[in-house]
Structure 1
Amino acid sequence: MSETLLSQKSTTAEAGDRTVDPALADASRALAARGTVLLTNDGTLPLAAGTRTALFGRIQKDWIAVGYGSGGDVNPPYVTNLLDSLRESGSVQVDEQLAARYEAWCAENPADPGEIWGAWPRHYPEMPLEDAAVNEAARRNDVAVVVIGRAAGEDRDAVLEPGSYYLTDEERGLLAQVTEAFERTVVVVDTGNLIDLAWLEEFSVDALVLAWAGGMEAGNAIADVLTGAVEPGGRLTATIARRYEDCPAAPNFGDAAVTNYAEDIFVGYRYFETFAQDAVLFPFGFGLGYTEFDLSPVDLTTSEGTIQLSVRVTNTGGRPGSEVVQAYVEVPGVALSQPARALAAYARTPELAPGESHELRLSVDWADIASYDDAGVTGHRSAFVLEPGTYRFHVGHDVRRTSEAGTAEVLELRVVEQLEEAAAVDPEHGFDRMVVRTGADGRPEVGYEPVPTRTESLRERILSRLPGAVAAPEGEQPSFQDVLDGSVDLETFIGSLTPRELADIAYGDVTMDSPLGAAGNAGAIGGVSAALRARGVIPAITTDGPSGIRIADYASLLPCGTALASAWDPAAVRELSALHGQEMLRKGSDILLGPGMNIHRDPLCGRNFEYFSEDPLVSGLTGAAQVAGIQSQGVAACPKHFACNNQEFERIWVDARVSERALREIYLRGFRIMVRESSPWTIMTSYNKINGVWGHYHYDLVTTILRGEWGFEGLVMTDWWMRMAQDPDFPALRDSAYRVRAGVDVLMPGSIEHSGDTKEDSVYESHRFPDGLTLGEMQRTARHVLTYLAAVHPQGHRMGRGERPED
């Protein structure tokens, strides 16, 4: 690293300070490298010391460090790039003649990231090169490194066009020139989202590196990988198909109004490994390193609650390295259709020297491999069940390169968890979902059957579970400080709150960039009114995330969600996130809006860079690590977007129609694991509808499942602004009254829509309606918010710029 960047590392931060905690920078660099996936390599990598190296492609200089939107719009103090990082490494000889030409051209043709929200460029135009220039570079150098970059993001899905999912003609021409002239060519794809890689079968590429958007230290990290200073530790968290059209969600992605999740549970590798193995270019879990490992299953033991697998891992290559051991299960499909394999557990070894062995022990809970019966075909509708039969386990390097590790028998059907119908498909909006059929040759084939639809009354469920009210205490009104001191219990304080105070707690501070917090914050919750602050209720400041703290001041830009997950190393993610939590304390952030927990349902989703995987176990464990790390510092993470935010186009209107089974086994499971493992203090709902109901009004998701089934005790906030609507089950309620009844505690940033409409009268008075919102429901919301504030006090910190003028 240059002296300039070294001078920008510090453990303290003040407004306008460009310094970064050196431990945080180092951890970011290490995880960006560990998440880098080496897809092909004929021995060209790592580059030997002194290798004469020619860099092609403007992204060598104009490195894309993160995707677009609130999840990446951080003001970093610096961003490293590959050209400068390779120079500073001193490990290889960079072709300075070619580099100077690129630097001059990039200066004359700057990469314009765009200023219009949602209209950012997905790629940057490439510098043209004459054949003669490429041939001359080939004579001067030993190897070529071609860098290709892509970006997408919030409100900006990728599209099936050159410059987005596909290569441009200029990029294809550059690849043709370079691979024709050079004996050895390495391609680095710098991206936050998967792109088409079918061109690998067309051009003579010797090594392909998938460099996920790695934040401010990404250039250094990729230089470390190319030169062998560290191994490329990444493994794919999503399948790479030969053609986009082969992806299971492709026929049902991108509609402005409705998306039927017709592929059901057969998302990603669950589809490909069951029905279409030949359609895969790189399988789920795949990734190469610079050494080789032998995986030998040792034993498999079972108990009433768990399956234990032991695997011996031996480094059989010539370099030190670590391996990710992945365990998959084949679940017998008796009445329920099942994928050929599902990830059951995984772990990364410590670094092993050549010849060294290490024994890993993986634990699988029986409950975590149970299947949800939403149709009653097993005789137990709305239950997680284990069907009778042989459960076959495989361990290996990825979903395909495995060895059988043993079997476990279930002699008769076991009901693991009896639940209740929740968030089911509306009977008027039924569709056919994918199931397994047996073909004439005995092999599984794609079939379809009608999706089960709703049979129960949501209205009756809500009425039967309305919370009771807390009586107002006699005497003087207590202060929230009395609660913090332990002289008054929280219930007494809640009972003392007036309807107006209760309503204030149910809103953020009206707009983004609250004057109660650091400049550029996303908004405030809690003590947002003078009346509440007079009673000791402190405000808490939210900031966008998860790839960094989005404020007006400088803040670290971290590896994107996919990069973190591709490391398959939750312990390392937790360590990085703890350091990030310390930066939150220094920068004035109480709640970081992240991690992103949605599933990579389709490779075109613009926000995939924020999310972790097509697999809910990887998503859940990575998200849990991020939440636990952040919250270990006394600040909060806010996992999002609950649930099914799987496309950005018309995201605030699209209705994600999905079966209960797919919802519980795929789209909610990662959230459930994260809640179980890390107990987040806050969660954010999604913009989209789920089976006809917007996430910010979804009683079944928030109250029935999140709170009732999972035991979540934190506060739930909306994504920023929400759509106005009337409660179909309780016509007297609309907008925030509808939201509060659903169990969504806080409207952020405080107004209903961008129009600036604020706290509507119905919220203050609707508890008086015979069929309206009750006092107990308003107090429930206050309880969730105040419990959070009590948990973080006195770590809460104020960097306000003034008081909000009162209404």
Structure 2
Amino acid sequence: MPPTPAAVESGDRSHSLIPVESVAQISTVLENTDPELDPHLAALARQAAADGVVLLRNDGSVLPFGTERPIAVFGRTQLDWFAVGYGSGGDVKVPYSWNLLAGLRDAGVAVDEGLAAAYTRWTTANRPPFDATWGRWPHHFPEMPLDDELVEAAASRSDTALVVIGRAAGEARDSVLEPGSWYLTDGELAMLDRVTAAFARTVVVLDTGNAIDLGWLDRYGDRIGGLLAAWQGGMEGGRAVAAVLAGEIPPSGRLTSTLARSYDDYPSAGNFGDPEVSVYAEDVFVGYRYFETFARDRVVFPFGFGLDYATLDVTVAATTTTVGDGGRVRFVVDVVNTGGVHAGRQTVQVYASSPDGALSQPARVLAAYRKTGLLAPGGRERVVIEIALDDLASFDDSGATGQRGAWVLEPGEFRFFVGADVRSARHEASVTVDALRVVRRVAEAAAVDPATPFRRMALARDADGSARVAWEDAPTATVSRRERILAQLPVEVPPTGDRGIRLDAVRRGTATLDDFLAQLSPEELALLARGDLTMNSALGTPGNAGVLGGVAASLREKGVPPITTTDGPSGIRLAAYASLLPSGTALASTWDPALVRDLAAAHGQELVRKGSDVLLSPGMNLHRDPLCGRNFEYFSEDPLVTGRMATAVVRGIQSRGVAACPKHFAANNQEASRTRNDSRVSERALRELYLRGFEHCVRDAAPLALMTSYNKVNGVWAHYHHDLVTTVLREEWGYRGCVITDWWMESATDPDFPALDDNAYRVRAQVDVLMPGGVKTDQGPQAVADDTILDSLARPDGITLAELQRGARNVLGLALALAPVVERRIGATR
């Protein structure tokens, strides 16, 4: 595994503008202490890591491992296990992390101890090269060279080999099309050559956070009898994978992204990695939406796929359909374990296809899914799944249906397929819509800039009805942003000066939030619009990502608490010890929102115990391209899986009185040049794919905070994007929470309002807080505050006091929601 990060050093407070005389009462005593972890959380993490393992190949006899003869384990990753990816999503100070060799022994699997000793000696003497420079971490570790004598001796003691191959990527560290990242190295191929030639049976475990090339599978054919995708499972990952290999926990993971034959087969391949621009030319044809429509033969393992040790039959017992407004399709599905040996769990998946019409449609789209409980041999479970027809609506961004700016159901036959993955699902029902139905209308938002047009993928049919790729112009924006903003400026709360009203009076109901806001000076409102100036703020728990809210003495005197934020999706990144949880891909591969919610609730309780208030989680961007370095943090190429998993995480965390902060809003699907890159994407693809998961999460879980992304979206940095944050998030979806930036932001002047620079520009978009609060310059982030908000406020056409009050209201709403937890923490440290 990668080295455990050292304790976070105390920050330099010399540049802080915030008095720290009362810091002692809000600090915790957990730094470098408390290495014990909640056993319930650890158990849930192990179960989630195991349930996220996807069994991709099993010849029927190789897995699960028996106990007759030892297993010969090859590959240094058995010891140097990648527990999670790199960056803020994984650098947790974890007190332990299982590797696979230890996990196999724990599971009772007999391993070839002679071979294990050889690997132990070699890895001890050849510690992996590890460049700790941010964004320069290794993608892999070089393999131990094998000689024929070592392999033949191991083969004389065992007929089964387990080969372990590991990869990692992360924040600011995309995978690359090179051996040791996307491709296998010569050393890994040589290892597979020797092992598959010497052993009767070979199983391969892929310890990765991201997809890698699988073209080498054809080289070995049936010599590789078993293959597992062991998505990075955190501190319990090695132990969890071993439990699956041993049959202690049955495999039940399913793929949340398509695994194709080569990188060039992915529809995004020609538009990924450019430092300036990412053109989302594939439009709505991302992942399985593309492959099932245009390139079925280029798939190695389809979306939703996963094998079991058990034999699990899926039968649709009954269907009910209704049409018209409020139309629904209802499936009653029986799942039966017809095997006689192993227990197992099945995920029933329902896909829908929309009729050919004015809008191009993918062949299949995931409409719903449900996972069964554990079924013993002979066991059965009846699953009921309902789908609202309106949820299948497509967005018309061109007016092709005559309804531009509307979600529509086009007339024709909607077909439904039920099964265990997108490829094998069978047609079980159809519903015919007689006429075009407008489901809802929305304001045009974040459309393509007319100055940067592009062509997007579309569907055409040959004479025989087969699908082929066509191209059309992506529609461009038609509305005036300036006019929209001027028509929506808020009304000012008349200032009153300090009347002695504290924020807890608002909480008790003896004063209104407007009464409190009216007291705040412009300077105090500007302070609420940024965090403390540095990470590891002296106002929060040691090692924190940043603090917002009560960042000044005058605000704290009025009862505004400092609010501590903490990375990240896979664990609490503080100076204190904390749990390292399964990666986002591993969690999503469970297809089990209930399990993920339980794990997140335990994680939220740990957040309370460690002294933080806001967890910067979950990561919600899509697996648009398999090379994206942060794919391990994200859930899926599909927005429904993403939305349901994110909803489970947010509900779990917030059930403990702390806040979740989904990220990165939006279209953050490349790490290379992430702060400069422009994601150029049609409004349809944006709404149907890249915003859809966020919409599910916001509507169903109401996260208390949300983070913007670094990149531009159609020419506008996300932290300035009024269309995304105000028009869509707040007005269309009804979001009432606090929106923060990703850490630091790019300098810019509002093109429609030249009197607004930087933070004033951001506040107008209703991005409430700059985190961590300092200024980013050519020399890097600086622990100083700028004056752009107050300067703009003094200009005739600048930011208004009402806009500052509006943003402050969102920050104070977060403080009020977190008040019980914050008060308990402060009281406990007095």
Could you tell me the TM-score, scaled by structure 2's length? 0.94
Counterparts of 1:622 and 1:113, CA distance in 2 = 33
- Read off the aligned partner of 1:773 and give its amino acid letter: I
Task: Say which of 527, 533, 549 aligns to 2:550.
Answer: 527
Partner of 2:643: 620
Partner of 1:312: 334
Partner of 1:66: 84
- Residues 377-425 of structure 1 deviation map (CA, whole Å, 9 limit, x = unaligned): 1111011001111110001000011122211121111110101110000
- Read off the aligned partner of 2:44 and give its amino acid letter: A
Task: Say which of 210, 215, 236 aligns to 1:217.
Answer: 236
- Residues 216-252 of structure 1 deviation map (CA, whole Å, 9 limit, x = unaligned): 0011101100000011111000000001001000010
Per mean C-alpha deviation after superposition, the further-off stretch among 401-410 and 203-212 is: 401-410
- Read off the aligned partner of 1:786 and give its amino acid letter: L
Kindly report the root-mean-square deviation, in angstroms, between the aligned alpha carbons of the 2 structures: 1.5
Q: Secondary structure at the match of 2:652?
A: helix
Q: Secondary structure at the match of 1:428?
A: coil
- Read off the aligned partner of 1:202 and give its amino acid letter: R
Partner of 1:137: 154
Retained in 2: the 8 A contact 1:510–1:749? yes
Retained in 1: the 8 A contact 2:30–2:576? no
1:758 and 2:784 aligned: yes
What's the CA shift for 1:475? 7.4
Counterparts of 2:784 and 2:285, CA distance in 1 = 42
Retained in 2: the 8 A contact 1:470–1:494? yes
Retained in 2: the 8 A contact 1:721–1:747? yes
Q: Secondary structure at the match of 1:656?
A: strand
Partner of 1:252: 271
What's the CA shift for 1:768? 3.5
Partner of 1:322: 345
Retained in 1: the 8 A contact 2:498–2:519? no
Partner of 1:41: 58
- Read off the aligned partner of 1:184 and give its amino acid letter: R
Partner of 2:364: 341
What's the CA shift for 1:135? 1.1
Quick one: percent identity of the two aligned structures? 57
Instruction: State how 1:343-492 maps to structure 2 within 5 Å.
Output: 343-473=366-496, 476-492=499-515
Task: Say which of 351, 354, 368 aligns to 1:331.
Answer: 354
Counterparts of 1:346 and 1:483, CA distance in 2 = 43
Task: Say which of 755, 759, 777 aligns to 2:803.
Answer: 777
Partner of 2:13: none
Counterparts of 1:551 and 1:145, CA distance in 2 = 36
Retained in 2: the 8 A contact 1:425–1:659? yes
Instruction: State how 1:716-795 maps to structure 2 within 5 Å.
Output: 716-753=739-776, 754-756=780-782, 758-795=784-821
1:178 and 2:203 aligned: no
- Read off the aligned partner of 2:158 and give its amino acid letter: N
What's the CA shift for 1:795? 1.0
Partner of 1:275: 294
Counterparts of 1:732 and 1:248, CA distance in 2 = 42
Name the count of aligned residue pairs. Answer: 790
Partner of 2:9: none
What's the CA shift for 1:15? 4.8
- Read off the aligned partner of 1:170 and give its amino acid letter: G
- Residues 332-383 of structure 1 deviation map (CA, whole Å, 9 limit, x = unaligned): 1211000000000001011112222211111222222100000001111011
- Read off the aligned partner of 1:315 and give its amino acid letter: N
Partner of 1:3: none
Identify if the C-alpha distance between structure 1 residues 755 and 31 changes in structure 2 by more than 3 Å, giving closer, same or farther. Answer: closer
Counterparts of 2:175 and 2:157, CA distance in 1 = 38
**Hey, which bits of structure 1, 4+ residues long, moved more than 3 A?**
12-15, 797-801
Retained in 2: the 8 A contact 1:321–1:353? yes
- Read off the aligned partner of 2:573 and give its amino acid letter: R
Task: Say which of 127, 136, 154 aligns to 1:119.
Answer: 136
Counterparts of 2:799 and 2:666, CA distance in 1 = 25
Counterparts of 2:482 and 2:545, CA distance in 1 = 34
Q: Secondary structure at the match of 1:470?
A: coil
- Read off the aligned partner of 2:448 and give its amino acid letter: V
1:291 and 2:286 aligned: no
- Residues 660-717 of structure 1 deviation map (CA, whole Å, 9 limit, x = unaligned): 0000000000000011111100000000000000000000000000001000110000
Partner of 1:57: 75
Partner of 2:689: 666
Retained in 1: the 8 A contact 2:775–2:784? yes
- Read off the aligned partner of 1:336 and give its amino acid letter: L
Retained in 2: the 8 A contact 1:723–1:752? no
Partner of 2:22: none
- Read off the aligned partner of 1:57 and give its amino acid letter: G
Per mean C-alpha deviation after superposition, the further-off stretch among 32-41 and 109-118 is: 109-118
What's the CA shift for 1:769? 2.2
Identify if the C-alpha distance between structure 1 residues 289 and 720 changes in structure 2 by more than 3 Å, giving closer, same or farther. Answer: same
What's the CA shift for 1:745? 0.1
- Read off the aligned partner of 1:292 and give its amino acid letter: T
Identify if the C-alpha distance between structure 1 residues 201 and 795 changes in structure 2 by more than 3 Å, giving closer, same or farther. Answer: same
Task: Say which of 202, 211, 216 aligns to 1:199.
Answer: 216
Retained in 2: the 8 A contact 1:644–1:667? yes
- Residues 547-568 of structure 1 deviation map (CA, whole Å, 9 limit, x = unaligned): 0000111110000000000000
Retained in 2: the 8 A contact 1:518–1:799? no
Retained in 2: the 8 A contact 1:499–1:765? no
Per mean C-alpha deviation after superposition, the further-off stretch among 785-794 and 162-171 is: 785-794
What's the CA shift for 1:256? 0.5
Counterparts of 1:800 and 1:65, CA distance in 2 = 34
- Residues 589-635 of structure 1 deviation map (CA, whole Å, 9 limit, x = unaligned): 10011100000000000000000000000000001000100000001
Partner of 1:711: 734
- Read off the aligned partner of 2:66 and give its amino acid letter: A
Retained in 1: the 8 A contact 2:284–2:684? yes
- Residues 97-147 of structure 1 deviation map (CA, whole Å, 9 limit, x = unaligned): 111110011111112432100000000010011012101101101310000
What's the CA shift for 1:474? 7.3
Task: Say which of 155, 158, 170 aligns to 2:175.
Answer: 158
Counterparts of 2:790 and 2:551, CA distance in 1 = 16
Counterparts of 1:261 and 1:776, CA distance in 2 = 37
Counterparts of 2:184 and 2:584, CA distance in 1 = 24
Partner of 2:23: none
Counterparts of 1:347 and 1:658, CA distance in 2 = 31
Retained in 2: the 8 A contact 1:299–1:406? no
Task: Say which of 247, 261, 267 aligns to 1:242.
Answer: 261
- Read off the aligned partner of 2:333 and give its amino acid letter: V
Per mean C-alpha deviation after superposition, the further-off stretch among 360-369 and 672-681 is: 360-369
What's the CA shift for 1:477? 3.4
Counterparts of 1:249 and 1:261, CA distance in 2 = 7
Counterparts of 1:761 and 1:475, CA distance in 2 = 23
Instruction: State how 1:603-614 maps to structure 2 within 5 Å.
Output: 603-614=626-637
Instruction: State how 1:514-663 maps to structure 2 within 5 Å.
Output: 514-663=537-686
- Residues 485-539 of structure 1 deviation map (CA, whole Å, 9 limit, x = unaligned): 2211111101111100100000001110011111111000100111100111001
Partner of 1:4: none
Q: Secondary structure at the match of 1:736?
A: helix
What's the CA shift for 1:770? 2.1
Identify if the C-alpha distance between structure 1 residues 50 and 76 changes in structure 2 by more than 3 Å, giving closer, same or farther. Answer: farther
Counterparts of 1:119 and 1:734, CA distance in 2 = 33
Which structure 1 segments of 5+ residues have no match? 1-11
Retained in 2: the 8 A contact 1:13–1:586? no
What's the CA shift for 1:313? 1.1
Counterparts of 2:212 and 2:678, CA distance in 1 = 26
What's the CA shift for 1:308? 1.8
What's the CA shift for 1:484? 2.0
Counterparts of 1:52 and 1:757, CA distance in 2 = 58
- Read off the aligned partner of 1:100 and give its amino acid letter: A
